[in-house]
Structure formats: structure tokens, C-alpha cells
Amino acid sequence: MIRLLICDDHLIVRQGLKQILADTPDIEVAAEASSGCEALRLARRGGIDVALLDIAMPDRDGLETLKRFRGELPRLPVLMLSTYPDRQYAVRCLKLGASGYLNKSADTDQLLEAVRKAANGGVFVTTAQAEALAASLGTRSDQQPHEFLSDREYQVLRLIATGRSIAQIATQLSLSPNTVSTYRARICEKTGTRNDVEIALYAVRQGLHQV
């Protein structure tokens, strides 16, 4: 039996996933969490074979939580779940050590395949994700400026795009305001923007502004 931890801040999503898995004889939902911190706390107790982690969460985003999982529980497979297009996050998640990336529009067969593959030590990757990952290892002429941002710069860009101030971002990411300002300066340099308004407009044009 594969014991699954589901982490999503929306109750209806967790209930939907549990309903999908209810009739699956080899997978059981052993725990559920509504935040990254809660997911880590539950996972530390043990008894979990695979974690299914939403990217967008209120306390700490999925990339940051994934890093914590990899640092504290390196042997626990983590599947990332998101509404965002694969090109925005799949490659970043895989490079950070995720065992797969699932869009919430994925069908049931893909979900079951991903959970089983992760539980057996494999990595679930779609053809499109494999191509994107391969392309990221080289230099593509069609790469967008934000694709050259570090993971932390990418997080800061998206938070700026939602209207958060430097102080608010610093608190959310547990960083100093000076550090956030440094990331902001790098974002401006790499994306060709000059201020928060232009950063937000860039994010909207690229579809990066949703949280």
C-alpha cells in the first residue's frame, strides 16, 4: 500500500483527490495538510511514502517547501501539483529534485501513474516536460528573460507582481529587506524593467502573476 500525503490549501481539491483515490486498492491517503509547514510536520512523523504538494500555498510557496523537503527528508518522493503551465514550473521543480510535476488538469491515469512511479523511486515526466528539461540544459534562442532568473528571483518577481511590498516579501520569505531589494535589482537587470510597475506588467504579459 502506497501511503500518500496530500498538501493543498483548498479543501475541495483535497476532497476531490481523496475521492479519486478512494477506489484505488494500492494507494491510500494517509495524511492531508493545508500548508507547507503542516505538510513538513506531518511528513517528519514518518509513515508517508509519497507527498503530493501544491505549488501555490499561503504560508510558503511550493518551490520553497520542496527545498525544505529535499533538505530534511531527501528520501521522500515529492510530486508537485499546479494549475500553472508546465513551461513555467515543471523544469524548475524537476531540477530541485521533485519526482514529477502534475497539472491539475491531468487525468486520473496520469495521477495514479505518477504516484506509483514516485513510490518506486522513479520520476514521472511527460513528453513535453522532457523536451523542456532537455532544452533547458542548452541555450535556446527563444528563451524568455524570466527563464534566466534564479528560483529565488523568480519567487520575488511573482510576489512583486501581486502588489506585495519589499517588507511584506521579506517577511513571507524570511529574508531581510536588503536581500529582497538585491533580488529585485537583479530581476530588473535580467528582464529589462525599471520599477515594480514594469515588473508587474512583465509578469502579466508572461502569465506569471497568478498566485
For 32-83, write each residue's pLDDT tens digit. Answer: 999 999 999 999 999 999 999 998 776 677 888 898 999 999 999 999 998 8
Last residue of a domain, one of 104, 119, 136: 136
Residue 109's pLDDT is: 92
Number of domains forming the structure of the chain: 2
CATH of the domain at 185: 1.10.10.10
pTM value surpassing 0.85: no
Please indicate, yes or no, if residue 211 is contained in any of the structural domains.
Answer: no
Give 19's pLDDT tier (boundaries 50, 70, 90).
very high
Residue 204 clears pLDDT 50, i.e. is over it: yes
What does the pLDDT read at residue 190? 86
**47: containing domain:** 2-136
Q: Exposed/middle/buried for 112, CB within 10 Å: 0-12, 13-18, 19+? A: middle
Q: Which residue has the cell 520542496?
A: 66
Residues 89 and 41 placed together within one structural domain of the fold: yes
| Pairwise CA distance, residues 181 & 57, whole Å | 23
pLDDT on residue 211: 47
End residue of a domain, out of 85, 110, 136: 136
The whole-number average pLDDT for the span 194-200 is 88
Domain-terminating residue out of 115, 136, 157: 136
pLDDT for 73: 95
When pLDDT is cut at 50, 70 and 90, the band that residue 162 belongs to is confident
Specify whether 183 is located in the same domain as 201: yes
Contacts of 64 (CB under 8 A, 6+ apart): 36, 155, 173
CA dihedral 159, 53, 69, 185 (to 10 degrees): -10
Look at residue 4 in the predicted model and tell me its pLDDT. Answer: 97
H-helix or E-strand spanning residue 116: helix 108-119
Of the candidates 76, 120, 127, the one whose C-alpha atom is nearest the C-alpha of residue 101 is 127
Beta-bridge partner residues of 78: 51
Mean pLDDT of the chain: 86
168 & 130 share domain: no
**Beta strand segments in the chain, E:** 2-7, 27-33, 50-54, 78-82, 100-103
In the prediction, which pLDDT does 72 show? 94
Q: Would you say residue 175 has pLDDT above 80?
A: yes
- In this structure, are 111 and 158 located in the same domain? no
Residues whose CB falls within 8 Å of the CB of residue 173, separated by 6 or more in sequence, listed in order = 64, 152, 155, 156, 159, 180
Is residue 11 pLDDT above 60, yes or no?
A: yes
